[in-house]
Amino acid sequence: METLIQASYFIVAVIFIVGLKQMSSPVTARRGILWAGAAMVLATIVTFLAPQIIDTDQATTNVVLIILAIALGGGYAWWSGKRVAITDMPQMIAMYNGMGGGAAATIAAVELLKATSDASANSTNIATELGSDVAILGILGAIIGTISFSGSIIAWAKLDGRLNRSKLLPAQHLVNALIAIATVGFAISIYFSSVLAPIVVFFALALVLGIFITIPVGGADMPVIISLFNALTGLAVGFEGYVLGNAAMIIAGIVVGSAGSLLTHLMAVAMNRSVSNVFFAGVGTETATSSDTSQGEMKEIQAQDAGILMAFASQVVIIPGYGMAVAQAQHKIWELTQLLDDKGVSVKFAIHPVAGRMPGHMNVLLAEAGVPYDMIYDMEDINADFKTTTVALVIGANDVVNPSAKTDSSSPLYGMPILDAVDSDNVIVIKRGRGTGFSGVENPLFFADNTKMLFGDGQKAANDLIQAVKELS
Amino acid sequence: MIEGLAALYIFMLAGFTGYEIISKVPVILHTPLMSGSNFVHGIVLVGAMIALGIAENTTQQIIGFLAVLLGAGNAVGGYVVTERMLEMFKSSNKETNGG
Task: State how beta strands A315-320 and A346-351 pair.
Answer: parallel
* pLDDT number for residue A279: 72
Tell which wins on pLDDT, A232 or A355. Answer: A232
> Average of pLDDT values for A153-178?
84
**Lowest-confidence segment of A104-113, A386-395, B1-10, B12-21 by average pLDDT:** B1-10
* pLDDT number for residue B96: 40
Angle CA A411–A321–A264, to nearest 5: 75
Q: What is the pLDDT of residues A40-60, one digit of tens each?
A: 999 999 999 999 898 888 889
Name the closest residue on chain B to residue A48, using Cα atoms: B49
Q: Which of A221-230, A233-242, A296-305, A312-321 has the highest mean pLDDT?
A: A233-242
* pLDDT number for residue A281: 58
* Pair B68, B52: CB distance under 8 Å: yes
CA distance B6 to chain A (A): 11
Radius of gyration of chain B (CA): 19
* pLDDT number for residue A287: 39
* Pair A437, A399: CB distance under 8 Å: yes
* pLDDT number for residue A289: 42
Helices (H), A316-360: 322-326, 330-342
Round to whole Å and give the CA distance between B88 and A370: 7
Angle CA B16–A151–A354, to nearest 5: 65
Round to whole Å and give the CA distance between B50 and A47: 8
Residue A37 has pLDDT above 90, yes or no: yes
pTM of the model: 0.81
Q: Quick check: B8 contacting A, CB < 8 Å?
A: no
- Give percent above pLDDT 90 in chain A: 50
Give the confidence band of A436 by pLDDT, cuts at 50, 70, 90: low
> Average of pLDDT values for A152-164?
88
Residue B27, CA atoms < 13 Å, CB-side half-sphere: 25
Residue A26 has pLDDT above 50, yes or no: yes
* Pair A48, A70: CB distance under 8 Å: no
**Lowest-confidence segment of A84-98, A246-260, A314-328, B24-38 by average pLDDT:** B24-38
Count Cβ atoms below 10 Å from residue A122 Cβ, excluding itself.
Answer: 11
Give the confidence band of A431 by pLDDT, cuts at 50, 70, 90: confident
* pLDDT number for residue B99: 35
Q: Which of A236-240, A339-343, A399-403, A459-463 has the highest mean pLDDT?
A: A236-240
**Lowest-confidence segment of A109-113, A141-145, A454-458 by average pLDDT:** A454-458
The structural domains of chain B, with segments of one domain joined by +, span 41-85
Q: Quick check: B5 contacting A, CB < 8 Å?
A: no
Nearest CB among B19, B21, B98 relative to A21 is that of: B21
* pLDDT number for residue B90: 67
Compute the mean pLDDT over every residue in chain A, rounded to the nearest whole number.
Answer: 88
Cβ contact, residue pair B86, A30, below 8 Å: yes
Round to whole Å and give the CA distance between A257 and A101: 12
* Pair B87, A130: CB distance under 8 Å: no
Element at A348 (helix H, strand E): strand A346-351
Which residue stretches of chain B have pLDDT < 70?
1-3, 90-99
A399 as an active site residue: the answer is: yes
Distances (CA, A) of B53 to A53, A85, B48, B56, B60: 4, 36, 8, 8, 10
What letters, b where the CB count within 10 A reaches 16 and e where it falls short, cover A78-93?
Answer: bebbeebebbbbbbbb
Closest by Cα among B36, B37, B28, B34 to B82: B36
Cβ contact, residue pair B79, A371, below 8 Å: no
* Residues of chain A positioned with their CB less than 8 A from the CB of B32: 23, 29, 360, 364
Q: What is the pLDDT of residues A397-409, one digit of tens each?
A: 888 888 888 888 7
Radius of gyration of chain A (CA): 26
Round to whole Å and give the CA distance between B42 and A252: 9
Tell me the DSSP string of A67-85.
HHHHHHHHHHHHHHHHHS-
- Of the candidate CATH numbers 3.90.1150.10, 3.40.50.1220, 3.30.70.270, 3.40.640.10, the domain formed by A293-470 belongs to 3.40.50.1220
Q: Quick check: B46 contacting A, CB < 8 Å?
A: yes
* Residues of chain A positioned with their CB less than 8 A from the CB of B14: 238, 250-251, 253-255, 258
Q: CB within 8 A of A366, min separation 6: which ones?
A: A320, A330, A334, A349, A351, A376
φ/ψ (deg, to 5) at A443? -115, 105
Three-class secondary structure of residue B95 per DSSP: coil
* Residues of chain B positioned with their CB less than 8 A from the CB of A335: none
Residue A181 has pLDDT above 90, yes or no: yes
* pLDDT number for residue A286: 39
* pLDDT number for residue B91: 64
Q: What is the pLDDT of residues A211-254, one digit of tens each?
A: 999 988 876 778 889 999 999 999 999 999 999 999 999 999 99
Round to whole Å and give the CA distance between A236 and A146: 9
* pLDDT number for residue A292: 47
Tell which wins on pLDDT, A318 or B24. Answer: A318
The structural domains of chain A, with segments of one domain joined by +, span 94-286, 293-470
* pLDDT number for residue A285: 42
Count Cβ atoms below 10 Å from residue A463 Cβ, excluding itself.
Answer: 17
* pLDDT number for residue A218: 74
